[in-house]
Structure 1
Amino acid sequence: MLAVVIRGAAKFKRKYVTVAASPYFKPTYYKDSYMRIIQRTLPDDLVNDFPAHFPATLSRIYRSRGVTGLKELEYKLASLEHPKQFFDIDNAAGILADAVELGQRIVIVGDFDADGATSTTLGILALTAMGAIEPQYIVPNRFEYGYGLTPEIVLLVQELEADVLVTVDNGIASLEGVAAAKAAGMKVIVTDHHLPGDTLPNADAIVNPNHPDCGFPSKALAGVGVIFYVMSALRAQLTQRQWFEKAHIPRPNMSDYLDIVALGTVADVVPLDANNRILVQQGLARIQSGKARPGILALLEIGGRDASRIKATDLGFVVGPRLNAAGRLDDMSIGIECLLAEQTMLARSYAEQLDMLNRERKAIESDMKQQAERSLQDLETGSELPYGMCFYKEDWHQGVIGILASRMKEKCHRPVIAFAQADEETLKGSARSIPGVHIRDALDLLAKRHPALLSKFGGHAMAAGMSIKTEDYPAFAKAFDDIIEEWVTPEQLEATLYTDGALAAQDFSLEFAEQLRVAGPWGQAFPEPCFDGEFELLQQRIVGEKHLKLTLRDPQTSMLIDGIHFFADLTVWPNTAQRARLVYKLDINEFRGQRNLQLMVDHIEPLS
């Protein structure tokens, strides 16, 4: 059974991926036959503190993202927000400091995604460096226990004789699990970044930037960022107590963990606000200098990346998926052990296992995506997509539904939930949303209107997870669609690409491409620069069976430029067009020691 809820009477149109607009510009746009392309323009009164010699195009790019001067691009550790701004962080650090001094057993309960894996790894490494006695971790297997701290997980923690239980990247919604741990006599510290519900768990300390009483300004911090701050506060407490001198151990340098923080932050696709950009940039610098964990270097190597030249996107598209594959298909402890490994050969062994799992994940994902797409193709001409889409098939892999939801959201440009069977009576769902639709709030409203439909849920503005009864799927899908229909505007459902406009003739250079490469870190809510323009098409050919290789001429300069458009629509390309409108990123192709300018084409439209 493949279920997808369809209603209405308007023709389904092909959709493309959307990049969220910055609040710092007033958009002007033109529309082609199926794509709205918005060029970022700056209001005249926007502050510009960049020096006169600074590249004009780069200044415009930064200002469109809210950066108005060089001071905001220094990314120094001293500019990080202070841990003291966190609600309950001193309390959490005090509990952990007591546990370290008394030799108590600390157990970390993590999550089975890349953020959870990096959070768990950082916690274990930092606690060990600070003298904790054999800190241990448990990451729930998603297929047996599901997400978060549950009473069943607490039983496993009890077997480890834990005195202090610390959650990372979860726990804010674990009311029953925290209660069970407290009843068992444990101290409980919740570190999380997910949005809290109406009721908070009765933990001894809760450190979460989205806690209603928390004054920490960076609400976009990932779970790994939260535990980084908690460990920093713990180090401060132990320093004040002169613990390191008494224990005859060196005081750890917290910057040693920034490669892990950068990986978890990018992989969890949290917005790169100013504070997160500092964490990511500092972590990237550590990786580029060869000082990263052996596991991170091994994952980059197996992904064909030169660690000395990586960008933030390499963490998101090369390392993150391989790490996530363990939690999706097997056991995230493989990923955590890869990151914990001290020896290069051991790290490579784990990295090879993760790479194999990722290949398997890709095959499963491809099959599921084809099935979901066929359900759209089967629609009658004139039918309309639902405003909020739900997909479900009994044999889908519940570890891959999050990726499927992302792919279908990109294709249909609507909020999407993909479901898989958890057991005979329960479906697990993974949701992905579009800009302007807060998916966790939508689920909260659905739960208030239909209390019996949602067993549990949690998440962010753009992603969420939930459980429902199998028999309630049709009713849930309709209720979800109804809420999204109330919330969205027609403009939100239009496929849109935001660009930084046309490039000046002098910017088609290796020098400017290199400036863009190091000008980040680029990522969620701080998008990598892309441009649009018309080019002459001199050559077109398909490479790798599905990628369009182009030779282009820039009309401004008559310069010949190579271009590559991955996963081209083979029903359209190659063709007889002599000109095309492109949306592209400026890139450098390095091959056999040669470096050439190349356009990474996101969208191509034939003109003639």
Structure 2
Amino acid sequence: MSHKIIRRAHVDDSHLPANLPSLLKQLYARRGVGQDECELVLAKLLRPNTMKGLDVGARLIADAIQAEQKLLIVGDFDADGATSTSVCMLALKMMGAQHVDYLIPNRFDYGYGLSPEIVSVARSKGAEVLITVDNGISSIAGVKAAKQCGMTVIVTDHHLPGSELPKADAIVNPNQPDCQFASKSIAGVGVAFYLMTAIRAELRQRNWYQQRSIIEPNLAELLDIVALGTVADVVSLDPNNRILVQAGLQRVRAGRCRPGITALLEVAKRDPSKIVAADFGFAVGPRLNAAGRLDEMALGVETLLCDDILRARRMAHELDALNQDRRDIEAGMQQEALKSLQSFNLDEASLPWGVALFQPDWHQGVIGILASRIKDRYHRPVIAFADAGNGEIKGSARSIKGLHMRDLLERINSQHPGMIIKFGGHAMAAGLSLKADAFELFKQAYDDAVKEVLNYEQLTGELLSDGELPVDDMTLDTAFMLRNAGPWGQSFEEPLFDGFFNVIQQRIVGEKHLKLLLETECGKIMLDGIAFNIDLQTWPDATIKHARVVYKLDVNEFRGNQTVQLMVEHIEPM
């Protein structure tokens, strides 16, 4: 797929501290960093009092703890859901809750969120107070069922609400109408963490800790889990999220993190003392997610809750094996998906603008990743469907810049009433259900709707570059400075540079990765480069001697030696 390389414009960075290196000042200014946002300290977190519903939710849960009622946390089956559930379980127990348990719907039996069926399971467990985490804002029927059973219901979520809100006793969601909380990008685990801090303050006011001889808990101990969930859910790293992630990374680097996170880093062969946000996103998050995709997410939650490193290691190995299974299933599905697109492949212009794919034998747990991979390859919004039984199919959608996926589904739903059974989600990712026999109709309606919203130029992928890196900055010092200047991530992209290089050597390593030896055009220095998952039809090619390379500056560690390496994101033979 062709990419357009766009260099970010030079911007005024005079508002940033003078002691920052000039390269970093410019990188920060281009990403909208304000005067007070360079220092990522917990004291600068947004205050909880602007989060609508937080005070009511905290009071209700504090009442329930004092009355020794049975609390049940209802989570979601992804990494954000697992981390949110773990944060609540650990915090509530630290605060002296006697009866607290959790329930994560199995995605294959119950689907997503607080459904009436899940309320029945909660009732059989004797739950008196339900707390949803990372779900619930669209659970109109589930909340109604819980209220009819006499339960108190506190909904905590971060997903966009529909036109109707559930009739819960409290709703804590910064995206609900009239909520003044400034970070609309907070993950479900961030909302859960804020609620726990509010409950702690409420119990402090009631002299609860003194009465029970409990040491008031330091909830900062849970920030490693908060950071993991925030990065793994790919929410925008706005200033508040960056503070949360940075605090969590610092705990991990200092060796003060949960045994489960340590064990997951070990199986992913990552050094905790050198961890960056991307390690949560690409190494830990997928292993945690594998449980919810292929099996029961309870395994992921138990790994995070575990206090014993040996047990945590056993569970981490199970999660690692599940993740390998997930990768194998996904690879097979990807081959089939690419084959079905092959008919269009000869001419990119004939590809549908909105790609909808369905195979009856595809695995429900992996369609989201499949949609993501196909989207990255063709730069089209993609929905992948799998059979859900009962004559229904479930779709997982991934979008591109400029197309709000949830709004698009709402648009299709209003143009074709009854075609979509249910839908929900965000701008970049969403889920939906259809009757299986409506797939062909939906496929056409979806492509038409995408064409109404996008223009053709938006179907070309863009690579935003920070320009050419001076040769004198291609050093280990610069690479370490950039690594420590994060956390980088969604909407706070790690710096990408581009330049022209002489290609001195090229070879394939590990089946489909390209190892390069590159020389700067001026001939001043030679650098190693690595490009992952390259097109084997183009590379290696001994005739290519010159290329434009888009890259990240990275540190390669091998047998105790540290050298500069270019992580090649895009390479164009010249």
Q: Aligned pair 1:138/2:103, yes or no?
A: yes
Are residues 520 and 380 of structure 1, via their aligned partners in 2, closer, same or farther at CA, if it must alter by over 3 Å? Answer: closer
Q: Unpaired runs of 5+ in structure 1?
A: 1-14, 16-33
Question: Is 1:85 the equivalent of 2:67?
Answer: no
1:39 is matched with 7
Corresponding residue for residue 593 of structure 1: 560
Greater relative contact order, per chain length (Cα 8 Å cut-off, separation 6+)? 1
- Residue identity over aligned pairs, in percent, reads 55
Partner of 1:304, secondary structure, is coil
TM-score, normalised via structure 2 length:
0.98
Find the residue that maps to 1:568 and give its secondary structure.
coil
Native 8 Å contact 2:344 2:351 kept in 1: no
For residues 250-283 of structure 1, give each alpha carbon's deviation from its aligned partner in whole angstroms, at most 9, with x where no partner exists. 1111111100000000000000000000000000
State the distance in 2 between where 1:379 and 1:63 align: 42
The residue identity in structure 1 corresponding to 2:325 is E
Contact 1:86/1:216 (8 A) holds in 2: yes
Residue 72 of structure 1 aligns to a residue whose secondary structure is coil
- Say which of 194, 198, 205 aligns to 1:233: 198
For 2:125, the aligned partner's letter is: L
CA deviation vs aligned residue, 1:348-379 (integer Å, no higher than 9, x gap): 01100000000000000000001000111133
How far off its partner does 1:555 sit?
2.3
- Aligned equivalents of 2:424, 2:16: Cα separation in 1: 42
Could you tell me which of 489, 495, 506 is aligned with 2:472? 506
Give how far 1:51 is off.
Answer: 4.1
In the aligned structure 1, how far is the partner of 2:77 from the partner of 2:95?
A: 25
Partner of 1:272: 237
Pairwise mapping of residues 100-499 of structure 1 onto structure 2 (< 5 A)? 100-379=65-344, 381-382=346-347, 384-499=350-465
Deviations 1:291-350 (A, max 9, x none): 111000100011000000000000000000000000000000000000000000010011
* Closer, same or farther: CA 380–188 of 1 in aligned 2, 3 Å: closer
Whole-Å separation in 2 of the counterparts to 1:105 and 1:285: 35
Question: Matched residue of 1:378: which SS?
Answer: helix
Aligned counterpart for 2:481 among listed residues 515, 518, 525: 515
Q: Separation in 1 of the partners of 2:521 and 2:279? A: 32
Q: Distance in 1 between matches of 2:487 and 2:354?
A: 32
Measured after TM superposition, the shift of residue 55 of structure 1 is 1.9
- Aligned pairs, number: 572
Residue type at the aligned position of 1:449: Q
- Report deviation, 1:58: 1.4
The amino acid that maps onto 1:42 is: H
RMSD: 1.1
State how far apart, in whole Å, the 2-side matches of 1:52 and 1:160 are. Answer: 59
Counterparts in 2 of 1:137 and 1:62: CA distance versus 1, 3 Å:
same
> Which one-letter code corresponds to 1:224 in the other structure?
V
Question: What CA distance in whole angstroms lies between the structure 2 residues aligned with 1:88 and 1:362?
Answer: 40
Q: SS where residue 272 of structure 1 aligns?
A: coil
Whichever residue aligns with residue 470 of structure 2, its letter is A
Q: 2 CA distance for matches of 1:434 and 1:596?
A: 35
Q: 1:247 offset after TM fit, Å?
A: 1.0
Letter in 2 for 1:566: F
Aligned ranges for residues 25-36 of structure 1 at < 5 Å? 34-36=2-4
Cα distance in 1 between the residues matched to 2:390 and 2:129: 35
For residue 444 of structure 1, report the CA deviation from its aligned partner: 1.1
1: CA distance, partners of 2:245 / 2:346:
47
CA contact (8 A) 1:424 1:470 kept: no
Tell me, in whole angstroms, the C-alpha distance in 1 between the residues paired with 2:404 and 2:458.
13
Shift in Å, 1:477: 1.3
Q: 5+ residue gaps in structure 2?
A: none
**TM-score with structure 1 setting the length:** 0.93
TM-superposed deviation, 1:417: 0.5
